[in-house]
Structure 1
């Protein structure tokens, strides 16, 4: 996936980030999407905090055509009726913040309180994704290593891969790409060659600071399985077989799993503890995660809170900040500011969007999206967003299939959406809408209103 996806990104025009209808028809022929879209039964109430799925990703399109630079630009008068209907709809509660921008020129075409910072939910991931693309080498991988210190002190050292397989790794997968079983094979062989049949085992997760949770998280975020403790080591992003709903000490579980794998291979493991590996320890074996770019694609498509928080810490480390929630949020905001964008009023308690302390203006979201669509160095963000009717959290929305790329956001009181939509004339628009005071239990109805509004952008000549 890495090389092919990378080639698709490099080969596409960074201006054309919306999938055209032909892409949907092709996908539908191959049974990638349900059809016919308009006759589907209404979907069940969506989980308000989507997490990374363990099955293989639905294939997102690599068809990213050029937009029509000569296409007419919609006018305010043309966009206003639909905007008025959206902001006055009772389903969205207090009038939301909305903004629509012409991607090519940057002209604001329609706006309603678009510069006020609001509770963004998972559209926060637009900022984290942009910071990751701007800061990290997305071809790099995360190593999980077994190192030996002293006569018989073995250490399992994590650097951020929370997507390990418990057994053998799966080379074609993103989740479970690297396997603890494979690491145990190589480690046991190395120990045997040294004449060692008995060791102590410690797990070193000092790459990330240990913090219970981010400011603005609640107990439901853990009990509901919407996130797990952010550590430098873990199996299947916390989805360990037999544990419900989610493993909140993924590093310990990984270490116990590795210890048992060593025992199964004839190595006695006398204890399992947590401590840092001494400097100068000898590396016996290591396994590598999927490339960071593929992990980021999955985090954005499936709106994985845990994986996105890992990326926040990786950005923090790269930018010289501590690998903490505070360090990650500082690093992300600074990375966005370094793109030349106005981050005033932005406040983050986390980098995934679960925190009730987050505040982002719709205008900043569209500024980031426009930058991603026009700056080749950020184009990976634009094409990583899920496609309506095809993949991720846009697979089952009431959006015209194959035409919209966008990041969703849902909390108990919030429904947000930020992305790209082409007009009927071929003009590409970036939009953001944040309804952060929706009626209680009203997310389904609010999503319908927002999706209906986005669909008017797609059909708009609006001159």
Structure 2
């Protein structure tokens, strides 16, 4: 991880667990004998069409018995299954009702609606702040009676350790690998849209959300005549300067690009909405000083348990990183860098489920140097009080029949977290079977040689990655259907 200045969710058991069960102590996890030649899951794994390693562990939540263990001790990149660890880590450190607050301060006296001093936009680490909410902040500021600011607009984003990006081995233009700071707007992404106009293109860069799409100047893009690379990036003194290859553009389209100067980006968007209410502000400037003065307005995020449920559903990397960094800061009493915070989460996990030894390099699973074994994953899922916290916020996984339609059976359900990188496919969570059993499972697959070869191609989707991941997901489906319908 390149480090510059930017480096200086508990709920009731869901409907899946409608019958009571006694969580088995970890020491009761014990394998039962099976005959490999007659084992359906072993046959599925041995006949798979994917290269690389596959590990499968399944355990009964009530008895603690391990029903399947196929290469369960082989540690693999967990990908976004890491977020299940992060959700539990953050919820237990911060509390289910914890919120992140974005605030506006007046650093000076206010007389007759005139601030004789600076106005400060201060982030509180909210990873899910969007333009609509910045607009609401500006409206609330206007409602205080403020009409003029004689000083500067300062922006503070140091509530969390600042990270230039989550994983520096990823390509610069990937929107899921943004900068992370204490002030994160639109997941620190800007919306790039293009449309052909004769022989040229019309482009826009805006901070869109549900109701607004203000154009921004803190990001710029130029179309250049080349074949590769598709995008290039440089930081032009607080402005994200992008170029895109003309040959990569079709007639019209759009995509999200990461924001590398999030404080100035958020400040510019806030100033746009303040101006719409008659409050004209100077161009934003970053400040390192913790805000002081009079708190004027604030916007609180959704409670952490809701935020973690959304994170597990949509797999938002920035949400995981912000929650993990905030949890570590609370646990140790000080901010830590990403790798140190990830290590703190690994040490916590080893205590939370005695005997496991995960290795993390971040809180989102984007970095492929992390390692977790399927057996350790299942041991965490079975640890005391984990299921009541995680199961309600995990994503519903549909099981699909041979006809391609979702299996509609109210007696069965799967709640789990998926993880996907090129040549890495993971899935872990809980199954309610047709027979009424609650199972914890982990299915990890990876081909790390193919992944490394794919990286050298320098493209988002290297040769063979999509088909490999599709086959891995089919294997997951086959295993889950067997567990849900036959165990």
* Unmatched 5+ stretches in structure 1: 20-63, 168-178, 391-395
**CA distance in structure 2 between the aligned counterparts of 1:76 and 1:399, rounded to whole angstroms:** 31
Per-residue deviation, 1:182: 2.0
More helix by share: 1
**CA distance in structure 2 between the aligned counterparts of 1:337 and 1:281, rounded to whole angstroms:** 43
Structure showing greater Rg: 2
Quick one: structure 1 residues 279 and 157, their matched pair in 2 at CA, closer, same or farther if it must change by over 3 Å? closer
Aligned to 2:121: 156
SS of 2:310's partner is helix
**CA distance in structure 1 between the aligned counterparts of 2:89 and 2:64, rounded to whole angstroms:** 21
- What is the correspondence of 1:209-228 to structure 2 with a 5 Å cutoff? 209-215=161-167, 217-219=169-171, 222-228=172-178
Offset from partner CA, 1:347-383 (integer Å, 9 cap, x none): 2111111101111111121112112xx51x7622121
Per mean C-alpha deviation after superposition, the further-off stretch among 270-279 and 153-162 is 270-279
Q: What is the aligned counterpart of 1:66 among 6, 14, 19?
A: 19
Quick one: structure 1 residues 343 and 400, their matched pair in 2 at CA, closer, same or farther if it must change by over 3 Å? farther
Per-residue deviation, 1:217: 3.8
Per-residue deviation, 1:408: 0.6
- What is the correspondence of 1:139-150 to structure 2 with a 5 Å cutoff? 139-150=97-108
Aligned to 1:383: 392
Greater relative contact order (CA < 8 Å, ≥ 6 in sequence): 1
Aligned to 1:457: 483
Q: What is the aligned counterpart of 1:271 among 275, 280, 283?
A: 283
User: Are positions 1:325 and 2:338 aligned together?
Assistant: yes
Q: What is the aligned counterpart of 1:198 among 150, 154, 167?
A: 150
SS of 1:100's partner is strand
User: Are positions 1:303 and 2:268 aligned together?
Assistant: no
Aligned to 2:365: 353
SS of 1:271's partner is coil
SS of 1:233's partner is coil
Give the TM-score, by structure 1 length.
Answer: 0.74
Q: What is the aligned counterpart of 1:91 among 38, 41, 49?
A: 49
**CA distance in structure 2 between the aligned counterparts of 1:274 and 1:399, rounded to whole angstroms:** 53
Q: What is the aligned counterpart of 2:137 among 183, 188, 198?
A: 183
Per-residue deviation, 1:189: 4.2
Aligned to 2:428: 418
Quick one: structure 1 residues 191 and 234, their matched pair in 2 at CA, closer, same or farther if it must change by over 3 Å? farther
Task: Indicate conservation of the 8 Å contact 1:128/1:351, yes or no.
Answer: yes
- What is the correspondence of 1:236-315 to structure 2 with a 5 Å cutoff? 236-241=186-191, 242-243=205-206, 244-249=255-260, 250-278=262-290, 280-315=292-327
SS of 1:459's partner is helix
Aligned to 2:220: none
Quick one: structure 1 residues 258 and 238, their matched pair in 2 at CA, closer, same or farther if it must change by over 3 Å? same
**CA distance in structure 2 between the aligned counterparts of 1:400 and 1:356, rounded to whole angstroms:** 36
Task: Indicate conservation of the 8 Å contact 1:96/1:436, yes or no.
Answer: yes
**CA distance in structure 2 between the aligned counterparts of 1:202 and 1:156, rounded to whole angstroms:** 6
Offset from partner CA, 1:212-238 (integer Å, 9 cap, x none): 22356411xx52322321122223323
**CA distance in structure 2 between the aligned counterparts of 1:109 and 1:76, rounded to whole angstroms:** 9
More strand by share: 2
**CA distance in structure 2 between the aligned counterparts of 1:338 and 1:291, rounded to whole angstroms:** 26
Quick one: structure 1 residues 197 and 273, their matched pair in 2 at CA, closer, same or farther if it must change by over 3 Å? closer
SS of 2:434's partner is coil
Task: Indicate conservation of the 8 Å contact 2:107/2:119, yes or no.
Answer: yes
**CA distance in structure 2 between the aligned counterparts of 1:100 and 1:378, rounded to whole angstroms:** 15
Aligned to 1:108: 66
**CA distance in structure 2 between the aligned counterparts of 1:356 and 1:397, rounded to whole angstroms:** 33
* Unmatched 5+ stretches in structure 2: 1-8, 23-29, 109-115, 192-204, 207-254, 451-463
Quick one: structure 1 residues 123 and 201, their matched pair in 2 at CA, closer, same or farther if it must change by over 3 Å? same
TM-align CA RMSD = 2.9
Quick one: structure 1 residues 153 and 197, their matched pair in 2 at CA, closer, same or farther if it must change by over 3 Å? closer
Task: Indicate conservation of the 8 Å contact 2:189/2:259, yes or no.
Answer: no
Give the TM-score, by structure 2 length.
Answer: 0.71
Aligned to 1:231: 181
SS of 2:302's partner is coil
**CA distance in structure 2 between the aligned counterparts of 1:434 and 1:398, rounded to whole angstroms:** 23
Task: Indicate conservation of the 8 Å contact 2:343/2:361, yes or no.
Answer: no
Q: What is the aligned counterpart of 1:119 among 77, 91, 94?
A: 77
Task: Indicate conservation of the 8 Å contact 2:190/2:257, yes or no.
Answer: yes
SS of 2:470's partner is helix
**CA distance in structure 2 between the aligned counterparts of 1:399 and 1:122, rounded to whole angstroms:** 25
**CA distance in structure 1 between the aligned counterparts of 2:413 and 2:279, rounded to whole angstroms:** 55
Task: Indicate conservation of the 8 Å contact 1:191/1:197, yes or no.
Answer: no
Moved over 3 A (4+): 73-76, 188-191, 195-199, 214-217, 238-244, 277-280, 396-402
